[in-house]
Structure 1
Amino acid sequence: MTAPISRSPAQPVQKAIYDRLTGDDTLMALVEGVYDQVPEDKAYPWVRIGDHLSTPDNDLTSYGREITETIHVWTRTRRNSQGQQIAARIGELLDHQERELDVAGHRVVSIRQEYDQALPDPDPQIRHHVLRFRITTEQEEE
């Protein structure tokens, strides 16, 4: 009998997050789009599902992963309120919503928001919010 192969949930997690965010009418009314790769000259505000870190979280009987997924909110305004509103909606859609995230080939054990940080940009008309979520998964048996 051969052991099952460990499969990374990184891409399925990113797809599930994208589907969750773009499937929400409230969020989509606040932004011009949600992207992995943002098109040049894209109108603000927008969300980019970006950088992730995936680490094994195995036990004796199953494969698991902890993924930290970073989501960026970009707005063109001198104030943080628009970005904060968008970031808050993303938090509502993902934080503690493990049953709502369908990750192909994996079961989502937990989703926890680690932080939401507002950052200044060299352009005073731009605001950047960074959110990070920790997603714990278990690989489903084949």
Structure 2
Amino acid sequence: MMNKKEISTLGMVKSGVYQRLSQDPSLNAVINGVFDNVDEKTPYPYIVLGAMTGSPWGSKTSAGQEVTLTIHTWSDYPGDEEILIKIHPLILEAISREPIDVGSGLSVMLARLEMEETLESPDGMTRQGIIRFRFRIMEV
């Protein structure tokens, strides 16, 4: 019996999403950057690429992976308007405009919104938006 090939695409998905969001002119007109890690001096609003999960997903002939990526948006605007009306729609548009580049030999077969929420931070002054996407990546 032959073992099925397994692949990891988390790094490629994160890199592809980072490139897409950090180079989107409409999104960058309303935020101060897209980050993997941010320090306390970073001015609001901004985006942080967060937790990821990956699980095997494939066919009889090609390996693949289903990946989730959580994107955090941070704002000091009073209320949720900046996150929900300005930033999240631009993230959705950027992700869904065309397939994310995940490198040669791989293709994004699915990119969909899995969940979206906002939270008021304990400091009472900042808001966090959370938006999670699910991607299905396959070898081509």
Percent identical: 30
**SS of aligned partner of 2:44:** coil
Q: Which runs of 5+ in 2 are unaligned?
A: none
Q: Name the aligned partner's letter for residue 24 of structure 2.
A: D
- 1:94 is aligned to 95
Aligned length: 137
In 1, Cα distance between the equivalents of 2:66 and 2:134? 7
Q: Give the SS at the match of 2:114.
A: strand
Contact 2:7 2:64 in 1 (8 A): no
Q: Which residue of 1 aligns with 2:109?
A: 109
Once residues 87 and 72 of structure 1 are traced to their aligned partners in structure 2, the CA distance between those partners, rounded to angstroms, is: 10
Unpaired runs of at least 5, structure 1: none
Contact 2:119 2:128 in 1 (8 A): yes
Deviations, residues 60-100 of structure 1 (Å, cap 9, x unaligned): 111111001100000012211111110111011114x4x43
1:4, CA displacement in angstroms?
8.4
Whole-Å Cα distance in 1 between the matches of residues 64 and 45 of structure 2?
Answer: 35
Map of 1:71 onto structure 2: 71
User: What's the offset of the Cα at 1:23?
Assistant: 1.1
SS at match of 1:30: coil
TM-score of the pair, normalised by structure 2: 0.90
Counterparts of 1:130 and 1:56, CA distance in 2? 25
4+ residue runs of structure 1 moved beyond 6 angstroms? none
SS at the partner of 2:8? coil
Give the conservation status (yes or no) of the 8 Å contact 1:78–1:124: no
Deviation, 1:3, is 7.5
Looking at structure 2, the residues matched to 58 and 110 of structure 1 have their Cα atoms a distance apart, in angstroms, of 13
